[in-house]
Amino acid sequence: MPSMTKPRDYRTRADPFDGYWPEIEALLRVEGLDVKTVFGQLQDRHPDKFEPGMLRTLQRRAREWHALNGSEKEVFFQQVWRPGRQGQSDFTHMTELGITIRGELYEHLCYHFVLPWSNWEYVETAMSESFAALSRGVQNALHALGGAPVEHRTDNLSAATHNLKREEGRAFNERYMRLVEHYGMTASRNSPGKGNENGDVEKSHDVFTHELDQQLRLRGSRDFESHDEYGAYLRGVVAKLNERRKTKVEEERRTLKPLPATRLPDYQVFDVTVSKSSSTVRVLQNAYSVPSRLIGYEVRVHVHAEKLEVYLGPKLVLEAARLCGEGGARINYRHVIGWLVRKPGAFKNYIYREELFPGLVFRRTYDALERANAATADVEYLRILKLAAETMETTVAVELEKILAQGAVPGSEELRKVVNPRPPARPEINVSEPDLAKYDELYEEEAA
């Protein structure tokens, strides 16, 4: 026979917060205040009244209160994607994966492009969220894809947008608009602070980095011989992911716009004059050294995503790794060492002095020289650095390691004998002028 017991609608024990609820409610209305903090406040205000075990009860009661009286929560609207309609771009930090190049941590980003409908994606490394990196990534992605979607969406990247001082908010940069219009796309962006509006690429970051992490675990190592080897490995991981979506990708490809016949340059161009005081060029708030013979000349600098190219007229005279951020310097000691050896007094307070230690062993060498004889340390170190410029830096570094390991102080002359021994002096050979009369006598004897 079915039970006729009435469901219980009463408490089995007294409410520990009875009489305190108006006080609790006032605290719950404070934006961002969590329940643990509210409970702590009650304990402070009413000592010995509330035991730690009562927190769970308050959390349950607070959850109910927020559901009935709390502030409105943001609603996210699921999107219906159509093939060929949109492509999304973003950058994501990769350093946490612990990738190393020949044992050194590779701190980098990845540029990520995704088609939301088919989830086709493209990934490549980047050193910063620069326009050059964005332009290169977008164009490489579109050419790998073989077509362009109707719309290209980003978040509020400084590479694509800038602040509007009067109207407030952000607007697209002219150079970014040239890029998307060249490929027949329209530009769109997230509302400021609404990364979820670029949600497909955000989700793809998580999927891709998880897949990469899993593949690296299978590989058994996160170390690569070169940046090119690592880049090829990334492309392999992405290719496997895209292969799993092959049917939808091929369907979406048929809806894409054809690509233009040419690419846009994915670098910025600056015309600058080489500084007379330091043999450097200043580009995007960073300094780069160039050979001193270029002092006073105007050069053209192409700033790529990860490198600079310096041209004198049509001739490429220098390549250098690009610096991230502002206020940095990349000084190649080979460009200035000849003059520093002639002016050693300039080394002590040289504003780029720290750039003249190409490796830790050179810094340790200078420290050893200074401890041994501070008066001659600068001159001796500059001579050693000049030797590295004239021969092989790696060979000099190896010999310095050996000397320091023995507890000795490196000396430039002793070091030269090992890494660049001077050839023995040539013997003097005197050749006397021949006596032509002897040849005449021989002719006469032959004729007789």
The set of residues, in sequence order, having a beta carbon less than 8 Å from that of 362 and lying 6+ positions away, is 381, 384, 385, 388, 397, 400
Residue 164 has pLDDT above 50, yes or no: no
Q: In what order do the strands lie in the sheet with 268-273?
A: 268-273, 298-303, 307-312, 315-321
Average pLDDT across the chain, whole number: 85
pLDDT band at 8 (very low <50, low <70, confident <90, very high): low
pLDDT per residue as tens digits for the range 15-36: 888 888 888 888 888 877 888 8
Determine contact, residues 230/125, Cβ cutoff 8 Å. Answer: yes
Which position has the higher pLDDT, 201 or 368?
Answer: 368
Q: What is the predicted pLDDT for the residue at 370?
A: 92
**Average pLDDT estimate for 408-412:** 91
Kindly list the distances between the CA atom of residue 439 and the CA atoms of 83, 164, 433, 447, 448, in Å, as whole numbers in the listed order. Answer: 98, 97, 13, 13, 15
pLDDT band at 360 (very low <50, low <70, confident <90, very high): very high
CA 101 – CA 230 distance, rounded (Å):
8
pLDDT band at 128 (very low <50, low <70, confident <90, very high): confident
Kindly list the distances between the CA atom of residue 305 and the CA atoms of 130, 135, 205, in Å, as whole numbers in the listed order. Answer: 7, 9, 21
Determine contact, residues 185/150, Cβ cutoff 8 Å. Answer: yes
CA 385 – CA 352 distance, rounded (Å):
15
Q: What is the predicted pLDDT for the residue at 427?
A: 65
Q: Percent of the chain at pLDDT above 90?
A: 51
Q: Which of helix, strand or coil describes residue 349? A: coil
Q: What is the predicted pLDDT for the residue at 6?
A: 56
**Average pLDDT estimate for 368-386:** 93
Residue 322 CB-density burial (10 A; 0-12 exposed, 13-18 middle, 19+ buried): buried
The set of residues, in sequence order, having a beta carbon less than 8 Å from that of 446 and lying 6+ positions away, is none
Determine contact, residues 83/117, Cβ cutoff 8 Å. Answer: yes
Which position has the higher pLDDT, 161 or 250?
Answer: 250
How many other C-beta atoms lie within 10 A of the C-beta of residue 429? Answer: 5
pLDDT band at 404 (very low <50, low <70, confident <90, very high): very high
Q: What is the predicted pLDDT for the residue at 127?
A: 86
Q: Which sign does the torsion angle of CA 395, 307, 355, 337 carry?
A: positive
List the single range of 71-75, 190-194, 364-368, 429-433 with lowest mean pLDDT: 190-194
Residue 49 has pLDDT above 70, yes or no: yes
Which position has the higher pLDDT, 193 or 232?
Answer: 232
Residue 165 has pLDDT above 60, yes or no: no
Q: What is the predicted pLDDT for the residue at 194?
A: 47
**Average pLDDT estimate for 166-178:** 68
CA 109 – CA 106 distance, rounded (Å):
10
Q: What is the predicted pLDDT for the residue at 167?
A: 38
Which position has the higher pLDDT, 231 or 68?
Answer: 231
pLDDT per residue as tens digits for the range 248-257: 999 999 999 9
pLDDT band at 381 (very low <50, low <70, confident <90, very high): very high
Q: What is the predicted pLDDT for the residue at 225?
A: 94
